[in-house]
């Protein structure tokens, strides 16, 4: 059996049963435990002097290989091009995009350097699975170093429409680099379509949908495959965690604070893509218009700050602190604080138990690759008396969870209406919606995501790659435009 090599920007500090492992970490770690293999990436340490050295640690069948970054590399590769250029652009926030050519050079340099660090650890039979936007040039760098193994890539965030991607000056270099992978995985069909649109209309490539499996892409002298693989969760495990935590202290404390009021709940990293300001304003609009809800409902927003050394993140934090203070000042009573706004990380078990307590899961990103919180909220519900998910149409999860109340996150009145409807929804309707969504989550759990990707990567043999001139589509093959309308 092939050995699996996972490459991601950060190697998640996983300990069995430990706290706060997200979907990527859980799904990937499980895959590694089953097949055996290695997880390679940044340790999270930043050095001001010296020379980073790879640290290799064996834990059962999994080898963790981590390395620190130098300060300049962290600034250019991680803070700069990854998080100040790619993240806003890929989340359709071209207005927040900051571009510096030196950062892009640093991004490519660090990708090449990380690839060189990995090469001596590789074996011939290894299959390499690279994750996310920090590592777009990674396959190109491995190929330049002579690596012939199969290499797949999964993008956890949205792939933007061409007109937005064009705002990133080295857009062509990025897409060309993506074409060095053997298999590209996107979260949803719209992301895949956006990629195909660029290939056909900006890169003069072709898309072949004739196999019925992953699309065959011909561009920049390469043939590769691409498909959508929506990431999932383990819904039954989350349900058990939630049930086990029902009588725990956090839930008891929360219930005591609520005094039998209803609870609307959101959990996000504090990020401008998550639509938090609009969400706070829609809750305010609910209190404004549905006066009967005043002092009958509280809104808990858990949002630990991330990337706090970037201006855009400092700005959103200040804005939210202002909004929560203003809205609470406007509506609070001596015995009622409408918005509980908390900046902490919680253990997964605590989050799951709190989700089960919440009557409404309020998940309204402006853009999101998938949004695992939406799936976790549904999983955590009591099937006998489930809460209602209010979900942005711009979260990847909205492609699957049609039992949610789907909202447009910039439509403040529309979101307030959805909150009111969710709070008053009859039990039978809540149960039916929850049943449908649980069936969907079970059918596409995180193992299915991983197994589908690995199956296609194993069969997207390196032999399909072309060397030299650009491959042309044979007659009878569909263009992306045809795929888009079919
Ligand atoms: P994120 O942008 O981080 O992930 P999300 O999918 O919601 O967004 O995952 C966050 C994870 O962190 C969830 O498992 C959540 O429970 C956990 N989490 C959030 N806040 C927490 C807190 N305060 N305490 C503890 N845990 C917390 C990126 C993409 C998403 C994509 C995922 C996975 O941006 O679109 O869904 O990767 O592919």
Query: 123 CA to middle of ligand 1, Å?
Result: 33
Q: Which residue owns the Cα nearest ligand 1 atom 16? A: 373
Q: Are residues 311 and 401 in the same domain?
A: yes
Q: Which residue owns the Cα nearest ligand 1 atom 18? A: 268
What confidence tens digit (pLDDT) does each residue in 65-94 have?
999 999 999 999 999 999 999 999 999 999
Q: Are residues 456 and 398 in the same domain?
A: no
- Of 61-65, 109-113, 347-351, which has the strongest mean pLDDT? 109-113
Confidence class for position 15, pLDDT limits 50, 70, 90: low
Buried b (16+ CB within 10 A) or exposed e, 213-226: ebbbbbbbbbbbbb
Q: Which residues contact 439 (CB under 8 A, 6 or more apart)?
A: none
Q: Are residues 227 and 274 in the same domain?
A: no
Q: Are residues 450 and 439 in the same domain?
A: no
Residue tagged active-site, from 73, 182, 271, 368: 368
Confidence class for position 327, pLDDT limits 50, 70, 90: very high
Residue 414 predicted with pLDDT over 70:
yes
What confidence tens digit (pLDDT) does each residue in 136-160 have?
999 999 999 999 999 999 999 999 9
Ligand 1 proximity of 351 Cβ (cutoff 6 Å): yes
Mutating to test ligand 1, I would choose from 13, 130, 267 the residue with most ligand atoms within 8 A of its C-beta, which is 267
Ligand 1 proximity of 307 Cβ (cutoff 6 Å): no
**Arithmetic mean of pLDDT, 467-472:** 32
Residue 481 predicted with pLDDT over 90:
no
Inter-CA distances, 17 with 29, 237, 481, Å: 12, 12, 46
Q: Which residue owns the Cα nearest ligand 1 atom 3? A: 269
Q: Are residues 186 and 327 in the same domain?
A: no
Residue 370 predicted with pLDDT over 60:
yes
Confidence class for position 9, pLDDT limits 50, 70, 90: very high
Ligand 1 proximity of 372 Cβ (cutoff 6 Å): yes
Query: 292 CA to middle of ligand 1, Å?
Result: 33
pLDDT value for 462? 54
Q: Are residues 260 and 213 in the same domain?
A: no
Q: Which residue owns the Cα nearest ligand 1 atom 12? A: 22
Confidence class for position 483, pLDDT limits 50, 70, 90: very low
**Which atom of ligand 1 is found nearest the CA of 397?**
36
Q: How many domains does the structure of the chain reveal?
A: 2
**Which atom of ligand 1 is found nearest the CA of 368?**
35
pLDDT value for 472? 30
Whole-angstrom Cα distance, residue 466 to residue 55? 36
**Arithmetic mean of pLDDT, 232-237:** 94
Q: Are residues 82 and 193 in the same domain?
A: yes
Q: Are residues 45 and 193 in the same domain?
A: yes
**Arithmetic mean of pLDDT, 448-474:** 65
Ligand 1 proximity of 370 Cβ (cutoff 6 Å): yes
pLDDT value for 22? 59
474: CATH: 3.40.50.2000
Mutating to test ligand 1, I would choose from 370, 395, 401 the residue with most ligand atoms within 8 A of its C-beta, which is 370
* Burial degree of 154 (CB within 10 A; 0-12, 13-18, 19+): buried
* Mean of per-residue pLDDT scores for the chain: 92
Q: Are residues 425 and 457 in the same domain?
A: no
Residue 322 predicted with pLDDT over 60:
yes
What confidence tens digit (pLDDT) does each residue in 416-436 have?
999 999 999 999 999 999 999
Residue 95 predicted with pLDDT over 80:
yes
Whole-angstrom Cα distance, residue 203 to residue 370? 27
Ligand 1 proximity of 131 Cβ (cutoff 6 Å): no
Choice between 482 and 12, residue whose per-residue pLDDT is larger:
12
Q: Which domain holds residue 212?
A: 4-232+446-485
Confidence class for position 326, pLDDT limits 50, 70, 90: very high
Q: Are the C-beta atoms of residues 64 and 33 closer than 8 Å to each other?
A: no
Residue 356 predicted with pLDDT over 70:
yes
Residue 333 predicted with pLDDT over 70:
yes
Confidence class for position 12, pLDDT limits 50, 70, 90: confident
Q: Are residues 194 and 214 in the same domain?
A: yes
Residue 479 predicted with pLDDT over 60:
no
Whole-angstrom Cα distance, residue 314 to residue 328? 21
Q: Are residues 78 and 193 in the same domain?
A: yes
Confidence class for position 5, pLDDT limits 50, 70, 90: very high
The Cα angle at residue 16 between residues 307 and 228, in degrees rounded to 5: 60
**Which atom of ligand 1 is found nearest the CA of 158?**
35
pLDDT value for 485? 33
Residue tagged active-site, from 91, 134, 156, 218: 156
Of the listed ranges 7-16, 97-106, 218-227, the least confidently predicted one is 7-16
Query: 313 CA to middle of ligand 1, Å?
Result: 16
Q: Which residue owns the Cα nearest ligand 1 atom 22? A: 345
Q: Which residue owns the Cα nearest ligand 1 atom 20? A: 268
Among residues 158, 63, 75, the alpha carbon closest in space to that of 109 is found at: 75
Phi, psi of 149 (to 5 degrees): -65, 165
Query: 372 CA to middle of ligand 1, Å?
Result: 6
pLDDT value for 475? 33
Query: 267 CA to middle of ligand 1, Å?
Result: 8
Q: Which residues contact 143 (CB under 8 A, 6 or more apart)?
A: 180
Confidence class for position 463, pLDDT limits 50, 70, 90: very low
Confidence class for position 33, pLDDT limits 50, 70, 90: confident
Whether 156 is a known active-site residue: answer: yes
Residue 63 predicted with pLDDT over 80:
yes
**Which atom of ligand 1 is found nearest the CA of 267?**
20
What confidence tens digit (pLDDT) does each residue in 167-197 have?
999 999 999 999 999 999 999 999 999 999 9
**Which atom of ligand 1 is found nearest the CA of 21?**
14
Q: Are residues 48 and 163 in the same domain?
A: yes
Residue 337 predicted with pLDDT over 90:
yes
Confidence class for position 13, pLDDT limits 50, 70, 90: low
pLDDT value for 36? 85
């Amino acid at each position: 059996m092939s050995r699996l090599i996972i490459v991601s920007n950060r190697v998640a500090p996983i300990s069995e049963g430990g706290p706060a492992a997200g979907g990527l970490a859980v799904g990937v770690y499980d895959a590694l435990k089953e097949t055996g293999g290695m997880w390679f990436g940044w340790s999270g340490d930043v050095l001001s002097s010296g020379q980073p050295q790879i640290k290799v640690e064996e834990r059962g069948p999994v080898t963790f290989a981590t390395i620190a970054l130098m300060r300049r590399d962290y600034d250019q590769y991680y803070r700069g091009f990854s998080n100040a250029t790619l993240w806003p652009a890929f989340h359709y926030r071209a207005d927040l995009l900051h571009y510096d050519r030196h950062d892009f050079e640093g991004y490519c340099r660090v990708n090449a350097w990380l690839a060189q660090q990995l090469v001596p650890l590789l074996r011939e039979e290894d299959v390499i699975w690279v994750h996310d936007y920090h590592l777009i040039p990674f396959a190109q760098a491995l190929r330049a170093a002579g690596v012939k193994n199969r290499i797949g890539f999964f993008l956890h965030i949205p792939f933007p429409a061409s007109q937005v991607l064009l705002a990133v000056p080295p857009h062509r270099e990025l897409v060309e680099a993506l074409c060095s992978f053997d298999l590209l995985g996107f979260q949803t069909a719209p992301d895949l379509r956006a990629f195909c649109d660029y290939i056909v209309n900006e890169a003069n490539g072709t898309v072949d949908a004739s196999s019925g499996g992953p699309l065959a892409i011909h561009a920049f002298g390469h043939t590769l495959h691409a498909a959508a693989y929506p990431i999932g969760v383990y819904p039954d495990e989350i349900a058990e965690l939630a049930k086990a935590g029902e009588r725990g202290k956090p839930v008891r404390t929360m219930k005591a604070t609520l005094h039998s009021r209803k609870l609307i709940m959101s959990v996000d990293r504090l990020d401008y893509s998550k639509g938090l300001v609009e969400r706070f304003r829609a809750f305010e609009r609910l209190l404004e218009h549905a006066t009967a809800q005043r002092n009958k409902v509280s809104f808990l927003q858990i949002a630990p700050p991330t990337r706090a050394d970037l201006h855009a993140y400092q700005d959103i934090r200040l804005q939210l602190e202002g909004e929560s203070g203003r809205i609470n000042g406007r509506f609070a009573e001596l015995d009622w604080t409408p918005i509980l706004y908390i900046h902490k990380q919680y253990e997964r078990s605590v989050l799951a138990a709190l989700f089960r307590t919440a009557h409404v899961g309020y998940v309204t990103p402006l853009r999101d690759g998938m949004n695992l919180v939406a799936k976790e909220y549904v999983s955590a519900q009591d099937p006998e008396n489930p809460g209602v998910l209010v979900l942005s149409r711009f979260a990847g999860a909205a492609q699957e969870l049609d039992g949610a109340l789907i909202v447009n996150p910039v439509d403040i009145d529309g979101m307030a209406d959805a909150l009111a409807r969710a709070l008053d929804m009859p039990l039978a309707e809540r149960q039916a919606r929850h049943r449908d969504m649980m069936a969907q989550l079970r059918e596409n759990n995180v193992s299915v995501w991983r197994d589908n990707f690995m199956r296609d990567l194993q069969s997207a043999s390196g032999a399909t790659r072309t060397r030299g001139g650009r491959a042309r589509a044979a007659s009878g093959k569909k263009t992306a435009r045809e795929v888009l309308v079919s």
